[in-house]
Amino acid sequence: MTGEFSVKLRNPGPMTRIHWRLGAEIELLAPPGKSRLDLATAIAQTHDAEVERFFHPQSEPSLVPGTPIFHNLTLGYKIQHPHHGWIASCVDDLTLQSDLNREASPQTGWYRIISDDERLLRLVQRQADARQPVENVLEPIARLFGTTPSTGPGGMVRVDDLLEASIAIAAPLPGERERPCELVTAPLEDQHQAQLEQLLGLARSLGFTAPIEGATHLHFDATRLQNAPAFANLVQLLWTHGDLLKGLVGTNSHCRRLGSWPNALMETVTRSSFRSLQWSEARAELQALKLSKFCDFNLANCIHGHPTKNTVEIRILPVHLESGPLLVVAALFAAILERSTEKPLPFSAAPSYDLEALLENLPLSQAQRSYWRALRAPPPRAPTLPARAHSSVTT
């Protein structure tokens, strides 16, 4: 797969010890004939837990004139333990497309709900029961609007209001859309590698692979970064070293929904008065920038204080089917976040590709620094022997 590490760790334990609360979103692909439900079921059986079907919201560009975005509810599966709570979820990701047979017929029971109004879709999410089949799932919504669902070609079910304005459409899911599986973990407090390896081990045993467009997203708890000095440090570190980091971790060139921040963000955090602001004041300025979450480093949740996902999201990582390389990268970004909470950084608006400057500025162990230096360094060139001497060389 794209961006796989060229240096492997035999025993990464001390290098992957992370003192930061984090969660992972790992994009996977089920083998033909299986689905994300199979992985959810295997995780539940391993943990003596239950699988709960729910609606997972997503959006995608639309080809319909005047409707730039279609909002979707797709079927996801949450693994819940009766005493320990949420373990993980297996959900769809609409950016994963290249591996799928778009002509494949819908599988029984798989469908999605579409609307051109995100507010209506949130209403559907709260009122409809994801356990219901496509034929019945929109009945509660129709009752709210005083109408009845109508059926269309291919098993589609539609709900309009009394003036025949479209509310939502439920339709069977063609094109192997049951195969994409974004494995979303609950926040991990400790034993990060052991918990991730257990989940990824189950995925490997079922034949799950890395999708062509696949990525891993790491969500780090943002609480310690929600003050103006720490936030400014974080933006400066990632702005200055972002391209270097993408090359270092092997960002998947096929990955979608990545990109840089607007210049206005750097201009805001490097203004002389920014660091003296209270967080409420800094947040107001940052919220006015209307940052997208679809970028290399998603700060939107942190800025808006998302109630269930108050995080800084690292979106540039490739998919790793083993926990070792993934945790080494997580430890690198945990060090970047840790450094952001310390003294101010010297101002630099220009990108830097100086690996040593980055490594020496972070709270890393010597083993971690050696690992990244070895990974970045070009492989040693094999000695060249004279052509006529080759035949006499023995091994």
In tens, the pLDDT along 45-96 reads 999 999 999 999 998 766 666 665 678 999 999 999 999 899 999 999 999 9
Asked whether residue 14 is domain-assigned, the answer is no
Is the pLDDT score of 207 beyond 60? yes
Whether the Cβ atoms of residue 173 and residue 110 lie closer than 8 Å to each other:
yes
Same domain, 162 and 223: no
How many structural domains is the chain composed of? 2
pLDDT value, residue 190? 86
Same domain, 225 and 292: yes
Same domain, 277 and 160: no
Asked whether residue 368 is domain-assigned, the answer is yes
Asked whether residue 308 is domain-assigned, the answer is yes
Rounded distance, CA 180 to CA 32, Å? 11
pLDDT value, residue 201? 97
Asked whether residue 183 is domain-assigned, the answer is no
Is the pLDDT score of 386 beyond 90? no
Same domain, 337 and 280: yes
Same domain, 320 and 226: yes
Rounded distance, CA 179 to CA 350, Å? 42
Q: Which residue has the tokens 């979820």?
A: 89
Tokens of 86: 């949420």
pLDDT value, residue 162? 97
Asked whether residue 247 is domain-assigned, the answer is yes
Same domain, 225 and 329: yes
Rounded distance, CA 86 to CA 295, Å? 27
pLDDT value, residue 254? 95
Give the bridge partners for 158, in sequence order. Answer: 150, 169
Is the pLDDT score of 185 beyond 80? yes
Helix (H) or strand (E) holding 316: strand 311-317
Same domain, 139 and 222: no
Same domain, 225 and 301: yes
Residue ending a domain, among 172, 204, 233, is 172
Domain that holds residue 257: 215-376
Which of 5-14, 66-75, 339-348: highest mean pLDDT?
Answer: 339-348
Asked whether residue 227 is domain-assigned, the answer is yes
Angle subtended at Cα 252 by Cα 96 and Cα 222, rounded to the nearest 5 degrees: 85
Using a 10 angstrom Cβ sphere, with 0-12 exposed, 13-18 middle and 19 or more buried, the burial of residue 162 is exposed
Q: What mean pLDDT is reported for the chain?
A: 89
The SS3 assignment for 25 reads: strand
Same domain, 226 and 371: yes
Question: To the nearest whole percent, how much of the chain has pLDDT over 70?
Answer: 89
Question: To the nearest whole percent, how much of the chain has pLDDT over 90?
Answer: 79
pLDDT value, residue 324? 92
pLDDT value, residue 10? 39
pLDDT for 123-167, tens place per residue?
999 999 999 999 999 999 999 999 999 999 999 999 999 999 999
Same domain, 225 and 113: no
CA nearest 79: which of 40, 132, 24, 110?
40
Is the pLDDT score of 305 beyond 70? yes
Q: For residue 317, report the phi and psi dihedrals to the nearest 5 degrees.
A: -85, 140
Is the pLDDT score of 221 beyond 60? yes
